[in-house]
Amino acid sequence: MKPLLAMSIISILSIGVIIPSYAQCVYGCESSPVPITTQQNQVKLTDKGSLMVGFYTDPVKPTVSDKTSLEISFEDKDSQVSLSNVDYQVLIAKDNVSVYQTPVAHSTQGQAKVQYQFKDPGQYQVAVYVTGMNSHQMPQEGAAFDLTIWPSAVPEFPTSTTIMLLIALVSIILISSRTKLYA
């Protein structure tokens, strides 16, 4: 095998390995001063102070293309033990306008899950209202959580990568035509 042909093949293979890594890092490795787990691990005391409400999202970084699972937990404010038999309601709002509201539901093991497909990216507020515990009605109290919904990202190659590929392809064609590698 001619050395120039071998060098051309190695160049193409290395570009094929480098570009996906570059694209992944550009579109998936954004550095942020806030850890990515912040959105999934929010726990707050209700406005009247009776219990703690935990809020988690799946996926951790929801987008408009994902069906998002809002996972809610109810805990004792002092012992942080899960509270079973909690009546709750969830309200999702964007710009202080309600976009979705669940009917009052009942959690049996101190856990609840609400599925929702967000239509627009942006900042949302999720309010969890507790209306009863252990089959006893109580004055409504709640906890509110901020939630960021990201646009669905379709990775594409940056212009610089496309130019680099074009230059490499033209160089290989020119070199192979001058050295008669195609014969």
| Residue 154 CB neighbours (<10 A) | 7
> What's the CA gap between 51 and 48, in Å, rounded?
8
Q: In the prediction, which pLDDT does 38 show? A: 41
Contacts of 103 (CB under 8 A, 6+ apart): 89
Examine the pLDDT at 178 and tell me if it is beyond 60: yes
> What's the CA gap between 9 and 4, in Å, rounded?
9
Examine the pLDDT at 35 and tell me if it is beyond 50: no
> What's the CA gap between 101 and 154, in Å, rounded?
30
**DSSP run (H or E) holding 23:** helix 3-28
Q: In the prediction, which pLDDT does 147 show? A: 92
Tell me the range of 13-22, 88-97, 134-143 where mean pLDDT is highest. 88-97
Q: Which of 39, 23, 3 is nearest to 165 (CA)?
A: 23
Instruction: Quote the pTM value.
Output: 0.64
Structure tokens at 170: 């033209």
Q: In the prediction, which pLDDT does 155 show? A: 58
Cβ–Cβ under 8 Å, residues 105 and 129? no
pLDDT confidence of 136, banded at 50, 70, 90?
confident
Residue 39, φ and ψ in degrees, nearest 5: -65, -30
pLDDT confidence of 125, banded at 50, 70, 90?
very high
Is pLDDT larger for residue 111 or for residue 175? 111
Q: For the segment 42-61, what is each residue's pLDDT rounded down to a tens digit?
A: 899 999 998 999 999 988 88
Give me the mean pLDDT over the 158-181 stretch: 72
